[in-house]
Amino acid sequence: MRPRSPRGWPVNIDARRIPADVEAVCARLRAAGHQAHLVGGGIRDLLLGRPPADFDVATDAHPQQVMALFGSRYAIPTGLQHGTVTVVTNVDDGAGASLEPGVSSTHRESALGDDPGEMKPGGKPRNRHVEVTTFRGEGAYVDGRRPSSVTYVGSLDEDLSRRDFTMNAIGYDPISKVLTDPFEGRRDLAARRVRAVGDAEARFREDGLRPMRAIRQATQLEFDIDPPTLTAIGLTLDVFRKVSAERIRDEILKLLSARQPSMGIQLMRKTGMLAVVLPELLEGVGVAQNRFHKHDVYQHTLAVVDASTGDAVARLGALLHDIGKPRARQPREGAPGEFTFFKHEVVGAEMTDGICRRWKLSNADRDRVVALVQHHMFFYTPDWTDGTVRRFVRRIGPEVLPALFALREADIVGRGRNEDPEGELGELRRRIAAVHAEDAALRVGDLAIDGREVMRILERGPGREVGVLLERLLERVLDDPTLNTPAHLERLLKELVAPV
């Protein structure tokens, strides 16, 4: 008979999807007389039949008890002030291992080894970090970010009552197979609905990031947001404005990893959040384009983001690729009602740099996003020489090209004219592939001689001129890759410095 939760909901968690090392943590807590419940996103994902990204454990054991129970080899005091200890486990590679002493052999304990870094038979160790947190309640939130105090409570229900959404306020004991769902989160999962625990406005005023988490999780899961919860987002934007740029950036990147990011962007616009996070995007609302586009700038951008592929940073490039169009728009001469957007990619690159700095992206990610915006308007014609193709690859950078082509394909789809991207990009893609097959030099570092050789040949010391000469050699090699040999380059170098 299928076990049932105390509230009568059938338990449809596939216990086989709970890793052995995670169950081992719970088993050790239970063997010591404590409660141990898996909580949060891991249980939500199991109920949805999705592979969980991580597992968190809630327990009545206090942090010092958890530390003593697992010992310094496994337990890391990552957040004692909040009741959290991180337990590091070894994930079994499938070769099998002995059970942990002191724990009933009826439980799978194979993954807790003698040392978190030890080698498992038949494979290398893979560590997992399991956060174990004491049941807790929270004092008043005075800054919209963190509680003024944390108190330990005696029951799982009290602990779950402080969580953000009902779908994340479910606990599951993997040892007794009991599911605890005091706020009917499973009902909301079945209805594909994001609903706040208790009073939505109160939940959002506790932590200003929760409104954005509601939108992001609804987008990732393709759920609706319960109307009172959605209304509360607009009512708590004053608290949301206190959230750090780093936390906003992380939520944006997670949202852009969803199948259809436009859903979240539209929810942000509807609730007023987009005006706080990315007001530049709203400048495109109602901005008509020309005969080549079915949509205004804003709707075109949403279509491009949905059609784009790649990681979240590449899709951020799609989100911002036309951010400069409204500021660059000019009436098209002789074509009433149509507009041009000359150099909008230059305007957009500058705006994108500012947005990325505001969100505190890493230098590498910022450079990548700016490059996508700056170069997305490339225009190929069949009369390009092979040297022109190589210069194009060099200017963009081989590492950026795949994302740039993916953006351009999405840009074509986003025009809404049922155009085939292959017709516009296919020939250039084939010619670039041919360049790669030649293994041609595209950077100074690819040349057959380096700066030391230049100084030796010319009998000169180091200086700016060495770099200039290498760049001039590269220009010759881009036109004729057969010149990239030490002998040819030495001859060319002497020609470059010979008196006229």
What whole-number distance in Å separates Cα of residue 2 and Cα of residue 175? 15
Q: Is residue 1 part of a domain?
A: no
Residue that finishes a domain, picked among 245, 277, 309: 277
Q: Is residue 6 part of a domain?
A: no
Q: Residue range 219-239: average pLDDT?
A: 98
Q: Is residue 63 part of a domain?
A: yes
Do 469 and 487 lie in one domain? The reply is yes
Q: What's the pLDDT score for residue 148?
A: 53
Least confident of 4-13, 116-125, 316-325: 116-125
Q: Is the pLDDT confidence value at 117 over 70?
A: no
Q: Is the pLDDT confidence value at 93 over 70?
A: no
What whole-number distance in Å separates Cα of residue 246 and Cα of residue 358? 9
Using DSSP bridges, classify how beta strands 224-225 and 150-152 pair: parallel, antiparallel or unpaired: unpaired
Do 242 and 183 lie in one domain? The reply is no
- Arithmetic mean of pLDDT over the chain: 88
Q: What's the pLDDT score for residue 115?
A: 39
Q: Is the pLDDT confidence value at 313 over 80?
A: yes
Q: Is residue 5 part of a domain?
A: no
Give phi and psi for 375, each to the nearest 5: -110, 5
Q: Is residue 7 part of a domain?
A: no
Q: Is residue 9 part of a domain?
A: no
Report the CATH number at residue 237.
Answer: 1.10.110.30
Do 335 and 200 lie in one domain? The reply is no
Q: What's the pLDDT score for residue 499?
A: 75
> pLDDT of 63-80, one tens digit each?
999 999 999 888 999 888
Do 219 and 345 lie in one domain? The reply is no
What whole-number distance in Å separates Cα of residue 493 and Cα of residue 452? 13
Higher per-residue confidence, 35 vs 439? 35
Report the CATH number at residue 375.
Answer: 1.10.3210
Q: Residue range 442-447: average pLDDT?
A: 90
Model confidence at 81, pLDDT cuts 50, 70, 90, reads confident
Do 268 and 285 lie in one domain? The reply is no
Do 56 and 118 lie in one domain? The reply is yes
Do 173 and 267 lie in one domain? The reply is no
Model confidence at 147, pLDDT cuts 50, 70, 90, reads low
Domain residues for the domain of 139 are: 15-191
How many structural domains is the chain composed of? 4
Model confidence at 449, pLDDT cuts 50, 70, 90, reads very high
> pLDDT of 257-300, one tens digit each?
999 999 999 999 999 999 999 999 999 999 988 888 899 999 99
Q: Residue range 69-96: average pLDDT?
A: 80
Higher per-residue confidence, 194 vs 399? 194
What whole-number distance in Å separates Cα of residue 199 and Cα of residue 250? 26
Q: Is residue 259 part of a domain?
A: yes
Do 146 and 260 lie in one domain? The reply is no
Model confidence at 142, pLDDT cuts 50, 70, 90, reads low
What whole-number distance in Å separates Cα of residue 454 and Cα of residue 60? 71
**Distance of CA 113 to CAs 57, 70, 77, 175, 291, Å?**
19, 12, 20, 20, 66
Residue that finishes a domain, picked among 221, 253, 277: 277
Q: Residue range 117-146: average pLDDT?
A: 67
Do 64 and 122 lie in one domain? The reply is yes
Q: Residue range 425-454: average pLDDT?
A: 90
Do 246 and 108 lie in one domain? The reply is no
Q: What's the pLDDT score for residue 46?
A: 94
Residue that finishes a domain, picked among 394, 416, 438: 438
Do 78 and 142 lie in one domain? The reply is yes
Backbone dihedral region of 498: left (phi > 0), alpha (psi from -120 to 50 degrees) or beta? beta
Using DSSP bridges, classify how beta strands 224-225 and 330-331 pair: parallel, antiparallel or unpaired: unpaired
Do 203 and 304 lie in one domain? The reply is no
Model confidence at 335, pLDDT cuts 50, 70, 90, reads confident
Strands (E), 108-239: 127-134, 136-138, 150-152, 171-173, 178-180, 193-194, 224-225
Q: Is residue 399 part of a domain?
A: yes
Q: What's the pLDDT score for residue 144?
A: 55
> For a pLDDT cut of 70, what percent of the chain falls above it?
88
> pLDDT of 193-227, one tens digit each?
999 999 999 999 999 999 999 999 999 999 999 99
Looking at residue 485, the DSSP 8-state letter turns out to be: S
